[in-house]
Structure 1
Amino acid sequence: MARIGAQERRESVIRAAVAEFACTGYHGTSTAAIAQRVGVTQPYLFRLFPDKRAMFVAALVRSMDDTRLAFERAADGMEGGEHALQAMTNAYAQLISTRPETLLMQMQGYATVAAAEAQGDGLIGQVVRAGWMRIWETVHLSLGADAEETASFFACGMLGNTLTAIGLPSGAER
């Protein structure tokens, strides 16, 4: 039987952290729950990540990167406009229906920024803002740098995130 390497185990922890934090947030998630989901001990988690905050940040980065990549792949080779918009809308609907934890993790990140910064921790805010700007730029450029269309895309997307978070179907799922 082949042993699972540290990098592969780290990836498993990040996936588990996304799932756990997406459901119960930073303060509601225990490292024990993440360890249990992965099938490792808590001490092993802390060999891979220095602390719970580092796991949260890694999960947040992963969820934002996955969202950006979904939009990037969907619009690849398209010259902006309606085709890119439809392709990214479809990619977003696919994310909601198959991997809602990706978007819910981002919502947890947004919700955590103010509390973290009030306690003097600016890292989560930095990660959220940088991730958001990468997603924005990907969509913005894919839509031909049309600011109004980009803002509209994100407004509809945030509505979809909110509906998903409260357990209602988004317009894409109706």
Structure 2
Amino acid sequence: MARMSAEERRESVVRAAMSEFARGGYNGTSTEAIAKRVGVSQPYLFRLFPGKQAMFLAAAMRCCERTIEVFRASSKGLEGEAAHQAMGEAYRALIAEDPDVLLMQMQMYVAVAASEASGDREFGDALRAGWMEMYDTARLALGADLGETTEFLAYGMLINVLVSLGFESDHRVWAGFGDSQCI
């Protein structure tokens, strides 16, 4: 069996960190849990990343990148309503197939709020930049329409909340989505 390169090992750490942070949050996840999931020692983790915050940021950026990829791929060659529908369907499929993407997004929001409450704006700045790339990708696909972009992301956030809270697809809270143009 071939040894993994440092880049391959780093990639496995990012995937493991995303999974661990998605479930435990920034403060509730230990680097020991991440190292154990990957099958490496903690000192090895710190050869790949300078600290826990860097691991969280890498996991959060991966979450943003996955969402951006889905938006871009699903809306390619489409405009307006067709792009809106395609991105919404693709995003729903993404969070159904990989719940860590959704949970990591939610953990990003909590981590930024907590860090800013303690005076650390730099951490939030990095995460806001990733979120803004998602926003800009959606806005571009929607023809740079500010209102439609806001509506699209607002519905998406509502979906994030309802899924995070565990509402089943047949629950009455989903009834308002019907045939609307939401995500």
The two structures share one fold, judged by TM-score above 0.5: yes
Deviation at 1:156, TM superposition (A): 1.1
Identity, in percent, stands at: 56
Q: Matched residues in 1 for 2:119 and 2:6: separation?
A: 32
2:159 matches 1:166: no
Q: Matched residues in 1 for 2:163 and 2:43: separation?
A: 34
Letter in 2 for 1:20: E
Deviation at 1:95, TM superposition (A): 1.1
Matches within 5 A, 1:131-142: 131-142=130-141
Letter in 2 for 1:61: M
2:37 matches 1:37: yes
Letter in 2 for 1:113: V
Secondary structure in structure 2 of the residue aligned to 1:116: helix
2:128 matches 1:122: no
Q: Matched residues in 2 for 1:164 and 1:34: separation?
A: 25
Q: Matched residues in 2 for 1:8 and 1:160: separation?
A: 33
Q: Show CA shifts across 1:51-102 (max 9, x none).
A: 1111001101110111111101110111x21110111011111111101111
Letter in 1 for 2:53: R
Q: Compared with structure 1, are the counterparts of its residues 73 and 88 closer, same or farther at alpha carbon in structure 2 (3 Å cutoff)?
A: same
Aligned partner of 1:55 in structure 2 is 55
Q: Matched residues in 2 for 1:83 and 1:124: separation?
A: 36
2:7 matches 1:3: no
Aligned partner of 1:65 in structure 2 is 65
Deviation at 1:169, TM superposition (A): 3.5
Which segments of 5 or more consecutive residues in structure 1 lack a partner in the other structure?
A: none
Q: Matched residues in 1 for 2:167 and 2:23: separation?
A: 15
- TM-score, normalised with respect to structure 1: 0.93
Which segments of 5 or more consecutive residues in structure 2 lack a partner in the other structure?
A: 178-183
Deviation at 1:47, TM superposition (A): 0.8
Range moving further from structure 2, 84-93 or 157-166: 157-166
The number of aligned residues is 171
8 A contact 1:100–1:164 mirrored in 2: no
Secondary structure in structure 1 of the residue aligned to 2:70: helix
Secondary structure in structure 2 of the residue aligned to 1:137: helix
Q: Show CA shifts across 1:131-153 (max 9, x none).
A: 11111111111011111111111
8 A contact 1:13–1:35 mirrored in 2: yes
Letter in 2 for 1:71: F
Letter in 2 for 1:37: R
- TM-score, normalised with respect to structure 2: 0.88
Q: Show CA shifts across 1:22-67 (max 9, x none).
A: 1110000011111111111111111111111110011011101111
Letter in 2 for 1:140: R
